Structure 1
Amino acid sequence: MKQNDWILDVLADLKSFASANGLGALAEQLDDTTLIAAAEIASQKEEARAQLNGEHGQLGSNIAGFGRHQRA
């Protein structure tokens, strides 16, 4: 899900701006926000992989089961 990775760049830019303009509390909050965003993006990627692997696994099982029924 690379289409969501851009948000990490935006958060980094916002943190840089906050730091450069004396907004330390905001910069720290943006650090936390970046960690949360990265975790959620990683979670979405893992869910997508699991769904993809699950679909392939089910397809393989269905084909094997179908073949056994034909032989019987």
Structure 2
Amino acid sequence: MTHNDWILDVLADLKSFASANGLGALAEQLDDTKLIAAAEIASQNEKAQARLNGEHGQLEPDLGGLGRHQRA
């Protein structure tokens, strides 16, 4: 568990409260928010691990050839 994982617990608690109190749209939004938070935390963890492994510079996302012209 990283030092930022606490926010996932807070979001889960808020979602539970929203669901229990008839705030369905809010509960759904908090579910989406939790997914975004988890992805960002994982990204930060990957960057920190890369620094520990001696990799310098910013990690670039794999865009899967996005923006490149490909021919069959």
- TM-score tier, shorter chain, comes to 0.7 to 0.9
1:70 corresponds to:
none
TM value normalised by structure 1: 0.73
Please show how residues 20-59 of structure 1 align to structure 2 within 5 Å: 20-54=20-54
Letter of the 1:45 partner, please give it. Answer: N
**Which contiguous aligned blocks of 4+ residues in structure 1 show a shift greater than 4 angstroms?**
none
Higher relative contact order (CA 8 A, sep 6+): 1
In the alignment, the residues of structure 2 paired with residue 3 and residue 52 of structure 1 have an alpha-carbon distance, to the nearest angstrom, of: 17
Aligned residues: 55
Structure 2, gaps ≥5 residues long: 56-72
Equivalent residue for 1:64? none
Q: Displacement, 1:53?
A: 0.5
Q: CA deviation at 1:2?
A: 1.1
The whole-number CA distance in structure 1 between the counterparts of 2:8 and 2:45 is: 15
Determine what percentage of the aligned residue pairs are the same residue: 87
Higher helix residue share: 1
Q: What is the one-letter code of the residue matched to 2:11?
A: L
Question: Rg larger in 1 or in 2?
Answer: 1
Q: Alpha-carbon deviations, 1:9-32, whole Å to 9, x = none?
A: 000000000000000000000000
